[in-house]
Amino acid sequence: MLVYATHTLSNTIELVLTALLLYYTSYSMAYSEKIVVQSDYLSSKYNKAKTGIERVKYYKLKASLPQHSLNHCMKIATITVIGIFNRPTFIAFAFAPIFFWLQRGLGSKSIGFGDFHIRIFTFIACGIPITLFFILVDSFYFGYLTMAEIGNFDISMNNFVVTPLNFFRYNSNIKNLKDHGLHPYYLHLIVNVPLLYNALGVIGLCTFGRLLYSGLKAQWLNLPRIQSVVGLMTTSFITPIILLSVFPHQEPRFIIPVLLPLTFLYAPNMSQTPGVDTIARIAKDDECQSSFTRNKLNKLQMFWFICNIVLTFFYGFAHQGGVLPLSSHIATELKAKPDLTHIHLFTSHTYSIPTALLHLRNTKKTYVSSGNHKYKLIKDFYLYEQNSKSIRDVCNVIALKLRECEYKYVTKKVPYRLYYALPATDLEEFIFIQNNINLFNYHILKNYHSQKLLKILRI
């Protein structure tokens, strides 16, 4: 979790926004519950009052209660819209908090379905301005909308970019997801939750299994109340995982935002800190059981620490540990190469190369020389990320690019260097394919922990 939450910016932002949304929702629920209890109590007293003076008294007391129905509505709507434009998968994480915020107090004497509908319409109204703002920002950023077009009133629907809509269009096409890798639908539940949260995740899944069994057996008293914060956190933990499991491309970083509800609910099981079930545990506790629980928790803590240390070392340093040294080597190549030489780098089955470390020249900017001549720099670095394509397909693409580079070298005298970076685990397959089809020559240039850098040579 430490590695994933510090390496994936958009997912980390999604985690922070989910935490904020849960905070404002739980605060609103607790505040509304207090007001609703007082309102129902005063309504009961009002109905039982025998004199007009008493009724006026209780009516004034009830009228003096603070408003709570739309508490934090603007903040919750704004966080939701920001989260969706950051990553549209935020809808899965916002679903439970928004639902619990909307249904606060339903079933009481003072809150009815009219309040529920007012909250929905107000929530939508609060979200519209920030939505329009982000649409305009994206439209200007991607160049679909310009000030010249606005000045000429030459504007149509095609000038506006709705990023979340484009996201869903792209991910609804199974062919696009194949480029990133297809996974079984159970991967989040069976693999990714234990991978990210180890013992804590397993406790959460087992607890959800018991709740599901209680629901099927109609044992409603064993389930958390729908108006409670525990119910909010339980739903906020399991609902996003189930919704995101519908998509066939599943990475552990996609479910990072369930950290807060998972910690809130089950962290007390990992330590001796009292949690949300403190009263129930104290009622059942005795000296013998306390000693047993303490030993049990110590074993869980030990397992927790060992797993986190091992996985942090593996995913933070060993796994894909050659990406940064590879980037440093390519940056050195770019500085040391002859001026007109083009560098072509292919990668596959690895994380994206952090191009900021390469110190690439800005080829889009127009420069002005000392003689007042305008010019642009020629692009001399090309990165081809092949993602999860098979090694055979990557070899074919490299062969095509090699022929293209050779043609430019012969006709335009453009020198080049072509590299291929792949995980060490795929090197054997690469060598086997090359021995069979011999598309090009190569030699292993550098070894970077789990990465191999190959220099591709003409045949």
Q: Are residues 199 and 330 in the same domain?
A: no
Instruction: Tell me if residue 395 falls in helix, strand or coil.
Output: helix
Given this model, what pLDDT does residue 349 score?
Answer: 85
Q: Are residues 64 and 194 in the same domain?
A: yes
Look at residues 274, 296, 311 and tell me which one is the last residue of a structural domain: 274
Cβ atoms of 234 and 265 closer than 8 Å:
yes
Q: Are residues 258 and 352 in the same domain?
A: no
Q: What angle do CA 445, 450, 454 make, to 5 degrees?
A: 20
Q: Could you tell me what percentage of the chain is helix, strand and coil, using 3-state DSSP and rounding each to the nearest 5?
A: 65, 10, 25
Instruction: Tell me if residue 27 falls in helix, strand or coil.
Output: helix
Look at residues 211, 243, 274 and tell me which one is the last residue of a structural domain: 274
Q: Are residues 57 and 151 in the same domain?
A: yes
> Could you give the angle at which helices 229-244 and 9-48 cross, rounded to 10 degrees?
140
> Is 316 within the bounds of a domain?
no
CA 221 to each of CA 103, 218, 292: distance values in angstroms, whole numbers, following the listed order: 20, 9, 27
Q: Are residues 193 and 91 in the same domain?
A: yes
Given this model, what pLDDT does residue 273 score?
Answer: 55
Look at residues 239, 256, 274 and tell me which one is the last residue of a structural domain: 274
Q: Which residue bears the tokens 């991967």?
A: 187
Cβ atoms of 61 and 42 closer than 8 Å:
yes
- One digit per residue, pLDDT tens: the chain, 459 residues? 667 777 778 899 999 999 999 999 999 999 988 888 888 888 888 888 888 888 888 888 888 888 888 889 999 999 999 999 999 999 999 999 999 999 988 888 788 888 899 999 999 999 999 999 999 999 988 888 888 888 888 888 888 999 999 999 998 888 888 877 788 999 999 999 998 888 889 999 999 999 998 888 888 888 888 888 999 999 999 999 999 999 898 988 899 999 999 999 988 877 655 555 444 443 444 444 444 445 555 778 888 888 888 888 877 777 667 788 888 888 888 888 888 899 999 998 887 888 888 888 888 777 777 788 888 888 889 999 988 888 999 999 999 999 999 999 999 999 999 999 888 888 889 988 888 888 888 888 877 766 777 777 765
Q: Are residues 55 and 181 in the same domain?
A: yes
Report DSSP state, residue 49.
-
Q: Are residues 237 and 341 in the same domain?
A: no
Gap between the Cα atoms of 100 and 230, Å rounded = 11
Global pTM reads 0.78
Given this model, what pLDDT does residue 446 score?
Answer: 77
> Is 37 within the bounds of a domain?
yes
Gap between the Cα atoms of 277 and 262, Å rounded = 14
Instruction: Tell me if residue 124 falls in helix, strand or coil.
Output: helix
Q: Are residues 233 and 361 in the same domain?
A: no
Gap between the Cα atoms of 197 and 249, Å rounded = 20
Q: What letters, b where the CB count within 10 A reaches 16 and e where it falls short, cover 126-143?
A: bbeebbeebbeebbeeee
> Is 420 within the bounds of a domain?
yes
Q: Are residues 18 and 130 in the same domain?
A: yes
> Is 286 within the bounds of a domain?
no
> Is 451 within the bounds of a domain?
yes
Q: Are residues 268 and 345 in the same domain?
A: no
> Is 176 within the bounds of a domain?
yes
Q: Are residues 73 and 184 in the same domain?
A: yes
Q: Are residues 13 and 130 in the same domain?
A: yes
**Domain region containing 355:** 321-458
Domain tally, the chain:
2
Determine phi and psi for 166, rounding to 5 degrees. Answer: -65, -35
Gap between the Cα atoms of 142 and 164, Å rounded = 14
> Is 70 within the bounds of a domain?
yes
> Is 305 within the bounds of a domain?
no
Beta-carbon-side half-sphere exposure of residue 274 (alpha carbons within 13 Å) = 8
